[in-house]
Amino acid sequence: MSNNNISTVSPVMETYGRFPITLSKGKGSYVWDNNGRKYLDFTSGIATCNLGHVPNQVKEQVENQLQNLWHCSNLYHIPSQEQLAKLLVENSCGDQVFFCNSGAEANEAAIKIARKYAQDVKGKDAYEVVTFSNSFHGRTLATLSATGQEKIQHGFAPLTPGFRYLPYNDIQALDNLVKPETCAVLLEVIQGEGGVLPADPAWLARVSELCKEHDILLMVDEIQTGMGRTGTLFAYEQYDIEPDVISVAKGLGSGIPIGAIIAKQHVGKAFTPGSHGSTFGGNPVATTAGLATLKMLTEGQVIKNAQEVSSYLLEKLHTLAAKTDEIINVRGKGLLLGLIVKENAIDYVTKAREEHQTLILIAGPQVVRILPPLTTNKKEVDEFLEVMEKVFLIE
């Protein structure tokens, strides 16, 4: 049967408010559109291309893997998967890893293992996961139900039951954290989509303390903050906490889709054969990309560079903010930074892109989000700052 609307309706569902450019090439901190126009990319594919676009070491390893084996299913041992799991464990507080394909799937796995641990390992009829206002944990039905933002949940009622929300960074509200049915807490150490808002150390310490006191799991969503983005491999390392479960994705594969949870051994044993799985999760190509990426982050100077560039960029952004009343505040950690602005953030994003070939993002209506690659150098930061002065009309 023919579709008479085929010439007027996009074949791709319009789930994104797309910017009017088509990107066809990327290298390092730059991308090019299909007309050959060059852009400075301070979005990193939304904190995904942490090593810059098409990093050579990752590209070489993936190309080699593509010559040999693309897929074999998790019914067989996959050497790159086992090596990547080992490296994640060695560089975190966890003991075992489950691989999947995305951040949403990682948080789905975290939610499932929390319930499975409570009910099968502890023998307790607990299922509830506490999350926080303005959080973002994914777009699947369960993870959007875990997300503390009504705009993300709109139109998808009834939501998946088993989630309760408390205000973020409100230490008094933690008096209501634990109930008999509570099995876990899921939180971001820095809320990325929720406005580049870091956790208050005292608040986070109290959350961790309550989880230990009541034997409930502390699960940290490191999907945006992990893989060196905040100046350490994981953002939780900058706080005096030790999660039971860590969810990762985005920067782990340098743009090749991959997700994972890292769990402590007493939690990991809740996932027994047949209890959870993924057809493509941890496949040879994705884990090869992940292994090459993680080796660069843990063995090279990438994170050190990110720390140095972050200090330089933050100092310059504070100087910029002092020159205009359009910028209310600067916040964030590492190279996950936000400018809190008086007007609509999207207007500055549009001006930077259309007039100055520079890509930045928003994190809410009044937050400009800045996510350069961790490999960015000071020359590129200076180029970016020159653009920001023009965007904010600073002479």
Buried b (16+ CB within 10 A) or exposed e, 54-80: ebeebeebbeebeeeeeeeeeeeebeb
Average pLDDT (150-161) is 96
pLDDT digits (tens, 9 = 90+) for 223-274: 999 999 999 999 999 999 999 999 999 999 999 999 999 999 999 999 999 9
pLDDT score, position 394: 76
pLDDT score, position 7: 63
Tokens matching residue 294 = 């993680």
pLDDT digits (tens, 9 = 90+) for 187-203: 999 999 999 999 999 99
Place of tokens 């990762």: 248
Residue 1 has pLDDT above 80, yes or no: no
Residue 6 has pLDDT above 90, yes or no: no
Q: Which residues face 329 on adjacent strands? A: 340
Average pLDDT (164-180) is 98
The alpha carbon torsion through 276, 280, 282, 285 (nearest 10 deg) reads 180
Mean pLDDT of the chain: 96
Tokens matching residue 97 = 């890893």
Residue 5 has pLDDT above 60, yes or no: no
Average pLDDT (39-59) is 98
Place of tokens 């041992």: 77
pLDDT score, position 307: 98
3-state class (DSSP) for residue 197: strand
pLDDT digits (tens, 9 = 90+) for 370-387: 999 999 999 999 999 999
pLDDT score, position 319: 97
Residue 289 has pLDDT above 80, yes or no: yes
pLDDT digits (tens, 9 = 90+) for 79-133: 999 999 999 999 999 999 999 999 999 999 999 999 999 999 888 899 999 999 9
Q: Positive or negative CA dihedral for 146, 245, 274, 76?
A: positive
pLDDT digits (tens, 9 = 90+) for 307-319: 999 999 999 999 9
What is the C-alpha to C-alpha distance for residues 156 and 177, in angstroms, rounded to an integer? 26
Tokens matching residue 181 = 């049915």
- Residue 393: pLDDT band with limits 50, 70, 90: confident
pLDDT score, position 395: 62
Q: How many CB atoms are located within 10 Å of the residue 167 CB? A: 14
Average pLDDT (45-64) is 98
Q: Which domains does the chain have, with CATH numbers?
A: 56-299 (3.40.640.10)
pLDDT score, position 8: 80
Buried b (16+ CB within 10 A) or exposed e, 257-288: bbbbbbbbeebbbbbeeeebebebbbbbbbbb
Tokens matching residue 170 = 């409100």
The rounded percent of the chain whose pLDDT value lies above 70 is 98
The rounded percent of the chain whose pLDDT value lies above 90 is 95
> For 231, which DSSP code?
S
pLDDT score, position 279: 96
